[in-house]
Chain A
Amino acid sequence: MSRQLYPHLRLDVFPTPYCTGCGHGILLGAMVRAMDEAGLDWDKTLFVSGIGCAAWIPSPHFNADTLHTTHGRPIAFATGARLANPGLNVVVVSGDGDLTAIGGNHLIHAARRNIRITVVCANNRVYGMTGGQVAPTTPEGCFTQTSPWGGEEPPFDLCRLVMGAGGAFVARHTVFQVRQLIKTLTRALTFDGFAFVEAVSPCPTHYGKLNDTPTLADFHNQMKGQYVDRRRYDRMNPEEQADKIPTGVWIKAADTITPPIDKGSSFIPPSSGLGSSSNPPSAGQGNSSNPPLRSRGGQRGGI
C-alpha cells in the first residue's frame, strides 16, 4: 500500500491478527484504496462492523470513527447513525455469518428501505472466528465443524438475496480480483442509495483445511475457474453455468430506484455537546386543553 494512505490506518495495531493467507487482509487493503479513490473524508465516515474476524477489518485498523457492534446488528446500528446524522458516510464491513445468518433480517430491510449506507460482506463461507462452523453461505457438500459429513443445506446466493430485497447496487468479486474489487468498492462508497458488495474471501485456517484448499494459492486456483465475469456467465448455457458463480455489478434501472429514506432528514448532531435548539411548538395547537394529535392511534387489543 502506498505510504500516502498510511495516515488512514492505526499503524500501531498492525500487523493484523489475521491468519496467514486470510482473505480479510486483502479486503482491508482494498477498502482503504477505494476510500481514497472515492475521495471520501475519513473524518466524516463511520465504519460499522458486527462480530467475527471480518468485523475486525475496520476496527481498530481504520483511523476513523468505528463502531464494533453486537453480532449480526451492524446494519441496524448503521441505520440509526445515518438517520441521526445524514452528513456521515456510513460503511458496514462484516462477515457472511454476521450479515446474512443472525443479521439477515436487517440486511434485507436495509436493502428494501434503500437507506444510504454501503455494506461490504466479507464472505469466507464459514464462521471463521468461532472455529469454522457451517454458515448459510457454505456450499453444499463442504466440510465444516458442524457439517462434518458435508453440508446438506443449499447456501444463499447473497447477491440474488439482496437484489430480491430491492437492493439498488449489488456486486460480487473475489478478493483475488483485487483491481475490480477496488473499482467496485469505490462506486459502492459513492452510490446514492443502498449498496451491497460481496467480497469472497478465503479462510484457509478453517474452511481451507477441511476442503482441500489449505493455502491462499489453493483458493486462487479453485476460485478463478469458478467465479466468472457476469457477462461471460450470461453467455453460458445452463449446463456450463451450473458450477459457476457470476461476478460483477448489478445496478437497478434508475427509474426503479426509490429515493433513499434518509434524504429528508435535517437533524444535525451537536458538536459542542449542547443539543439541538429547542423544538418549536407544533403547529395548530393554540391554547386548547388538548395537545395536538393528528391521529389518535388508540387501537387497543393487539398482540
Chain B
Amino acid sequence: MKHTVETVPAPLPPDDYFMMGDEASAEGAIAAGCNFFAGYPITPSSELMVRMVHRLKETNGSFIQMEDEIGSISALIGASWAGARPMTTTSGPGLSLMMEGIGYAAMTEAPLVVVDIQRAGPSTGQATRPGSGDIFQVRFGSHSDYEIIALSPWSVQEAYDLTIDAFNLAEAYRVPTFVLADESIGHLREKVTIGETVERWHRPTAPGMPPFDTDDENGVPPMPAFGQGERLLVTGSTHDARGFRKTQDSAAHQRLVGRLVGKIRNAAEKIARYETYSLEDAEILVVAYGFSARAALEAISELRRDGVKAGLFRPLTLWPFPEAGLKLAAKSVERVFVPEMNWGQVVREVERILHRDVVPITQVDGEGMRPQSIIDGVRGRAGMNS
C-alpha cells in the first residue's frame, strides 16, 4: 500500500546554519518527525546522540541510553511497533551488535533509521578516524535474505537532507534504513540551509487489514500500532498475513521472504538516487560516494586541467545501488575507477553491475580521501595505497 504524505513547517526556522554533520543528522531526524531515540555511546557518533537528548526533550519525544547496542536496536523495534518514528546512531562495532535486531526489523517490517558514522578499521580500529568499511555490513550483516536501504551523504547539508529521506523511505517501504556517513562528514562543520517545510511520509495504514501481506503490487502491507485493538501478532519467525507462526510451511516461507526482498528490489530504480559530473565527454569514470566523492570531484577537475577527460558518478543510495544510472554513465568510458576509504567494497558492486574490470583506489590510512590519491590512482601510479 502507499504511504501518506504530510507537509509541515521545518522545526528550525528557515535559515543558513553552521553545524557538524552529526548535529545536522540529528536536526534532520527531528525535522522528519523522529520521536524516539535509543542509543549507546560510540565515537564518532556520540555528538548525534547528545544532540538528540536535548532536541527530543524540546519536542516531547522519548530518549533512552540503553545498556548496549543490542538493547538499542531492540528498543527501536518495540517503539516502531508502538507507533513511533525511531532512530539510533552508532559506528562499526555497535552496528555489529545490532545485526540480529536489524534482521528482525526487516522480517517484521518495522520502520526505523540507523545512522552509522563509520570509523576506520575492523574491531576497535581507529575510533576517531574515518573509514567506509561498513558498506557490506549494513547490507549483508544479518543472516539470510533481506533487503535494506542505505543512503550516503557527502556533505553536512546531505547529513540533514538524507536523514529526512531515510525516515521517509523507512516508513514508505517498512524497512530498516541506514544513513551511512563517516567520521569525515560526522565531524565536519559547514553550512546547512534549512528550508521552509519538510515532507514527512507515514507508513500505510488500513485498520483491520493484515499487517504482513498485501495484494498491492508494491508489496508493502499496512502497519497498525500496538494499543489500537488490532491484537497484533508480531514475530520474527516465518508468519502468515496475520502474523501466525508458520515454521513448517514452505509456501508461507517463500511468499514472505520473497515479498520482503521483492518490495525493495522491485522499487530499486525508484529508490535509487545518484548525481553525475562532467560525464558528457568522459573517457575516465570515477564512481565515488560519501566523503570520497568530494575528493573525487576535486580530482576530476584537476585531471581535466591536465587534459584527462574524467567524470564522476556519485550514488546517493548505496543500497539499492543505482544500477541503470551507472550503466548509462559507464557506457562509453574507457576505464572505471572506484576510490574508497576501505580495501574495496563498492568496487565489487560496480564490477557486478558493469561486468567489466574496474580499478579500485583504496586509501586505508585512517584519513579522509585525498584528491591526490585519486589522481595518482587514475594515472596508474597507485593501486593499493595505504
Contact = CB atoms under 8 A, between A and B. Distances in A.
Interface in B151-207: 187, 200, 202-205
A301 B74 contact: no
A9 to B, nearest CB: 11
B136 interface: no
Interface string A34-60: 000000000110101000000000011
A283 B11 contact: no
B11 A80 contact: no
B317 to A, nearest CB: 23
B78 interface: yes
Interface in B229-266: 229-237, 243-245
Interface in B90-146: 100-101, 104, 124, 127-128
A298 B49 CA distance: 11
Interface stretch (B58-66, B278-286, B306-314, B364-372): B58-66
B75 interface: yes
Contacts of A277: 8
Interface stretch (B32-40, B268-276, B341-349, B355-363): B32-40
A267 B78 contact: no
A79 B73 CA distance: 11
A49 B19 CA distance: 42
Contacts of A301: 43, 127-128
B84 A105 contact: no
Interface residues of A: mostly helix, strand, loop or mixed?
A: loop
Nearest to A81: B78
Nearest to B230: A65
B23 interface: yes
Nearest to B234: A67
Contact of A289 (B16, B58, B100): B16
B187 to A, nearest CB: 8
A80 B202 contact: no
A276 B35 contact: yes
Point out which of A46, A269, A270, A294 has the most chain B C-beta atoms below 10 A from its C-beta.
A269
A303 B230 CA distance: 44
Interface string A74-118: 001111111111011000000000000000011001000000000
B72 to A, nearest CB: 8
B232 A66 contact: yes
Contacts of B225: 85, 269-271
B124 A84 contact: no
B71 A79 contact: yes
A265 B11 CA distance: 20
A77 B75 contact: yes
Contact of A267 (B35, B44, B70, B80): B35
Contacts of B13: 281, 285, 287
B227 A79 contact: no
A279 interface: yes
A237 interface: no
A84 B82 contact: yes
A297 B228 CA distance: 39
Contacts of B74: 69-70, 73, 76-77, 79-80, 106
A105 B81 CA distance: 23
A267 B84 contact: yes
B217 interface: no
Given A287-B13, A301-B128, A302-B127, A269 B47 contact: no
A273 B16 contact: no
B86 A84 contact: yes
B71 A105 contact: yes
B30 interface: yes
Given A69-B74, A80-B36, A294 B30 contact: no
B54 A294 contact: yes
Interface in A102-144: 105-106, 109
B50 interface: yes
Contacts of B83: 84-85, 269-271
Given A285-B12, A299-B46, A83 B79 contact: yes
Given A69-B104, A275-B6, A291-B27, A267 B71 contact: no
Contact of A76 (B23, B71, B82): B71
A267 B101 contact: no
A266 B36 CA distance: 12
A20 to B, nearest CB: 21
A106 B70 CA distance: 9
A278 interface: yes
9 contacts: A44-B227, A65-B231, A67-B235, A73-B74, A76-B72, A79-B38, A80-B80, A85-B225, A267-B36
Interface of B: 4, 6, 8-9, 11-13, 15-20, 23, 27, 30, 33, 35-36, 38, 41-44, 46-47, 50-51, 54-55, 58-62, 64, 66-68, 70-72, 74-86, 100-101, 104, 124, 127-128, 187, 200, 202-205, 222-223, 225-237, 243-245
Q: Which 5 A-B pairs have the closest CB atoms?
A: A269-B83, A80-B78, A80-B75, A297-B50, A273-B205
Interface of A: 13, 43-44, 46, 48, 59-60, 63-70, 73, 76-85, 87-88, 105-106, 109, 261-262, 265-267, 269-283, 285, 287, 289-295, 297-303
